[in-house]
A = this chain, B = another copy of it.
Amino acid sequence: MSRYQLRRDKLRRLMKKSGADGFLVTNFTNVTYLTGFRGDDSFLILLPDGEIVLSDPRYTTQLKEECPGVDLEIRTPGTAMITSIRKVLRRCRCREVGFESNSLTVDLHGALVEGVDDVRWVPCGGLVERLRMVKDRDEIRSIRKAVMLAERAFGTVRSGLRSIDQERIVAHAIENEIRRFGGRGCSFSPIVAVGPRAALPHATVEDIPIGDHGLLLIDWGADSPDGYKSDLTRVLVTGKISPKLKRIYQLVLKAQQRAIEAIRPGAKCADVDAVARKVIADAGFGKYFGHGLGHGIGLDIHEGPRLSAANSEPLKAGMVVTVEPGIYLPGVGGVRIEDDVLVTRGGHEVLTNLPKDWDSAATQLG
């Protein structure tokens, strides 16, 4: 049985539990997760004893290659998707159909309710995302690959860094190296922020050279050949920095290490977040850590579970999360240290391997 069949069977069990005899998957990433099809603009209808991908002629050949055995409903140009949905659901005599209320738009939902009115539409938001949170063996292998690609790329770019290199050039170089090593590219636009710009947690890259700012924050990740993501952050010390920034570096590192130690099945996401937050708050920097501790990674760069104060869910073996506390002093600089961590039955495994202790941050520019 293929991994996709296994996933669809798990979803079938959830579907039955919610009382539905059909499930409409409208999120394209979820369609990929459940079928292996990598295109977009296509929906999946899951039935108790089968599944049908609804698409258009642009994808007919690709669908046959990427998800052999899955039934197809290909609409002609000018025919609305809703017409395909109605046709399939009537043919299969579905009565209660689950839909992805967490991603379906209000307008498309309205069109479904109006256009397919012999069906009761049951909101089932987050069902597939819930499955996706716990990774299977294939997925963990793909995330390891994405981590390896990110780390190799970082290694080569770091070893060749020059003080005249601009943020933008460094970001592009990382993507090129990831591709050279076999990845699709970056998993998101890298953040490369020099000096005080490191205080912007989501800085965009500019034409600013590393120069003698002393501090360089890089937040990047790789997209593996089959679409799984990694997400890392390191801060490089490229010159003289203030004792305060050094202290912050060590504080963020301590907060990160303590939080990682707290990761195990059953630990609540909010509690892991609180571990890091307490280390930072106790040192008086609480208000400078203005984001959650981390998030799941997988086919999306941001997915469940969120490690944040608002999420009381427990961690489960097979989840993969980032752990990325930060302290940002406006106008001065910022430090964030981020690793990817797999929740294992016995506790956790840090998937990333780049050194992060204070001494390893020192970087000689060419």
Contacts from A to B (Cβ < 8 Å): 38-39, 56-62, 76-78, 80, 99, 101-107, 109-110, 123, 125, 168, 172, 176, 179, 199-204, 289-292, 308-310, 330
Looking across the interface, which residue of chain B has its beta carbon closest to that of A75?
Answer: B290
Looking across the interface, which residue of chain B has its beta carbon closest to that of A79?
Answer: B310
- Decide yes or no: A203 and B62 within 8 Å by CB, A103-B105, A106-B125 being known contacts: yes
Contact A202 B58 (CB under 8 A): yes
Q: Which residues of B contact A110 (CB under 8 A)?
A: 101, 123
Contact A61 B200 (CB under 8 A): yes
The majority secondary structure among interface residues of chain A is: loop
Q: Which residues of B contact A60 (CB under 8 A)?
A: 290, 330
- Decide yes or no: A77 and B308 within 8 Å by CB, A58-B291, A107-B125, A179-B172 being known contacts: yes
Query: Bound state CA distance, A77 and B99, in angstroms?
Result: 31
Minimum Cβ distance to chain B for residue A94 (Å): 19
Q: Which residues of B contact A123 (CB under 8 A)?
A: 106-107, 110
18 A–B contacts from the bound complex (CB under 8 Å): A38-B204, A56-B291, A57-B291, A58-B200, A58-B202, A59-B202, A61-B200, A61-B330, A62-B202, A62-B203, A77-B289, A77-B292, A77-B308, A80-B310, A104-B105, A107-B125, A110-B123, A168-B179
Looking across the interface, which residue of chain B has its beta carbon closest to that of A41?
Answer: B202
Query: Bound state CA distance, A101 and B292, in angstroms?
Result: 28
Q: Which residues of B contact A179 (CB under 8 A)?
A: 168, 172
Looking across the interface, which residue of chain B has its beta carbon closest to that of A78?
Answer: B309
Contact A77 B291 (CB under 8 A): yes
- Decide yes or no: A56 and B290 within 8 Å by CB, A101-B106, A107-B123 being known contacts: yes
Looking across the interface, which residue of chain B has its beta carbon closest to that of A99?
Answer: B106
Minimum Cβ distance to chain B for residue A5 (Å): 23
Looking across the interface, which residue of chain B has its beta carbon closest to that of A57?
Answer: B290
- Decide yes or no: A58 and B201 within 8 Å by CB, A77-B291, A77-B308 being known contacts: yes
13 additional A-B residue pairs with CB within 8 Å, beyond A58-B290, A78-B308, A104-B105: A56-B290, A56-B291, A57-B290, A57-B291, A59-B201, A59-B202, A61-B330, A62-B200, A62-B203, A77-B291, A107-B123, A107-B125, A172-B176
Looking across the interface, which residue of chain B has its beta carbon closest to that of A330?
Answer: B61
Q: Which residues of B contact A290 (CB under 8 A)?
A: 56-58, 60, 76-77
Looking across the interface, which residue of chain B has its beta carbon closest to that of A203?
Answer: B62
Minimum Cβ distance to chain B for residue A289 (Å): 8
Looking across the interface, which residue of chain B has its beta carbon closest to that of A311?
Answer: B78
Minimum Cβ distance to chain B for residue A78 (Å): 4
Query: Bound state CA distance, A179 and B77, in angstroms?
Result: 36
Query: Bound state CA distance, A45 and B176, in angstroms?
Result: 40
Q: Which residues of B contact A199 (CB under 8 A)?
A: 61
Q: Which residues of B contact A289 (CB under 8 A)?
A: 77
